[in-house]
């Protein structure tokens, strides 16, 4: 039994399969472009929610410090510095994603990590086990659902 060399015609790609492959690649590129634009829009929404949440959080903190006197001055000063850095990060991030229209797929992971670090810093500055700012972890987790984050 001898082995026959493959037929040269069978190794050639037929024009029909070549065009089908090109069409499949174009469809895939369109899908990726669509999903990236959806992720970008989700990140813009997350930036808006982050800015509004920080404003409400700091407003609540100021009411607790100035009007109710619940918070001492050292905690107020340290928390204010952390929230100021956090707000600057959120504003710059919003500017880059919304105004400059820059987006990379790793962006949501970086922003969520920095949110967790900043919130943890506020909790550490509190130094009390009775701190109610741990409740902010739940909206932070829910903020992840605002993004679309499906890339096939």
Q: What is the pLDDT of residues 46-62, one digit of tens each?
A: 899 899 989 998 998 99
**pLDDT at 2 (0 to 100):** 57
For residues 54-72, b (16+ Cβ closer than 10 Å) or e, as one string? beebbeebeeebeeeeebe
For residues 114-144, b (16+ Cβ closer than 10 Å) or e, as one string? ebeebbebbbebbeeeeeebeeeeeeeeebe
**pLDDT at 144 (0 to 100):** 72
Q: How far apart are CA 67 and CA 16, in angstroms?
A: 76
In order of 25, 131, 133, 149, the CA distances from 110 in angstroms are 30, 26, 22, 14
**pLDDT at 1 (0 to 100):** 55
pTM above 0.85, yes or no: no
**pLDDT at 97 (0 to 100):** 93
Instruction: Tokens for 141, please give them.
Output: 């987790």
In this prediction, the residues of the chain whose per-residue pLDDT falls under 50 are none
**pLDDT at 68 (0 to 100):** 93
Residue 53, classed as helix, strand or coil, is helix
Contact 100, 76 (CB under 8 A): no
**pLDDT at 92 (0 to 100):** 95
Considering only CA atoms, which of 131, 48, 56 is closest in space to residue 97? 48
What letter would DSSP give residue 135?
A: G
């Amino acid at each position: 039994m001898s082995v026959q060399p493959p037929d040269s015609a069978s190794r050639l790609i037929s024009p029909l399969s070549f065009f089908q492959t090109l069409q499949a690649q174009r469809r895939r590129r369109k899908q990726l472009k669509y999903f990236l634009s959806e992720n970008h829009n989700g990140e813009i929404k997350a930036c808006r929610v982050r800015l509004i949440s920080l404003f409400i959080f700091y407003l609540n903190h100021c009411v607790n410090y100035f009007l109710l006197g619940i918070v001492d001055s050292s905690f107020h000063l340290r928390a204010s510095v952390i929230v100021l850095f956090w707000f600057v990060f959120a504003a710059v991030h919003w500017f880059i994603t919304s105004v400059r229209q820059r987006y990379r797929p790793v962006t949501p992971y970086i922003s969520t990590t920095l949110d967790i670090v900043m919130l943890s810093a506020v909790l550490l500055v509190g130094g009390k086990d009775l701190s109610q700012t741990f409740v902010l972890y739940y909206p932070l987790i829910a903020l992840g659902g605002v993004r679309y984050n499906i890339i096939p």
